[in-house]
Every structure is written in C-alpha cells, then in structure tokens.
C-alpha cells in the first residue's frame, strides 16, 4: 500500500478534522492541478501519529499517515483558467 505522511501544524486549535479521523478513519484528499486542468482524488484511511520523530517537519505537532487505497485522475479543463496570485503565508 502507498501512503502519505502529512505534518500537522497549529492552526485554529479546533482539531475538528483530527477528531473526525479518530471517530472514522475513512478519508479523502483532493488535489487540483490548475496548470494542467486536472484533479487528483485519493481515498483511503488515515491515522494520527502523536509519537513519531518530527524533526524533519519543524513545528509539526503530530503526523497524519494516509494510506492510499484508490486514486482517480479527472480531466477538468476549467481549472486551467485559474491563475495563482500568491501562496498562503500560513502554509510553511
């Protein structure tokens, strides 16, 4: 099985998503590709890792491990009409 390791940083301190994952690990991720006009949709199960070494991710409070069970690529040409204005200052 393929997996993603996603660092979790302090946000609004509400932890709603983490609570949802604790209650039901079935998760989905959506990645729009604005340059090519495509969407990558991943589905699988996530776990919250509170104990692993996070030195590779300075400031991360925990790690999410997302096990990819299914991947779907969708052509969506309308995305290609969007342009990047700037990156979020809140994303490290």
pLDDT tens by residue, 37-69: 899 999 999 999 988 889 999 988 899 999 999
Q: What is the pLDDT of residue 30?
A: 94
Q: What is the mean pLDDT of the chain?
A: 87
Q: Which domains does the chain have, with CATH numbers?
A: 2-79 (2.30.110.10)
Taking residues 2-31, report their average pLDDT.
Answer: 83
Q: Is 46 strand, coil or helix? A: strand
- Please choose, from the candidates 56, 64, 86, the residue with its C-alpha nearest in 3D space to the C-alpha of residue 19: 64
pLDDT tens by residue, 69-92: 999 999 988 888 888 788 888 766
- Helical ranges in 1-92 per DSSP H: 16-23
- pTM metric for this prediction: 0.75
């Amino acid at each position: 099985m393929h997996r993603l390791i996603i660092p979790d940083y302090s946000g609004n301190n509400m932890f709603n998503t983490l609570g949802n994952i604790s209650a039901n690990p079935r998760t989905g991720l959506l990645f729009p590709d604005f340059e090519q006009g495509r969407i990558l949709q991943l589905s699988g199960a996530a776990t919250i890792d509170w104990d692993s070494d996070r030195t590779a991710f300075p400031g991360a409070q925990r790690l999410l491990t997302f096990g990819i069970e299914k991947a779907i690529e969708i052509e969506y040409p309308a995305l290609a009409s969007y342009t990047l204005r700037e990156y979020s200052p809140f994303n490290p």
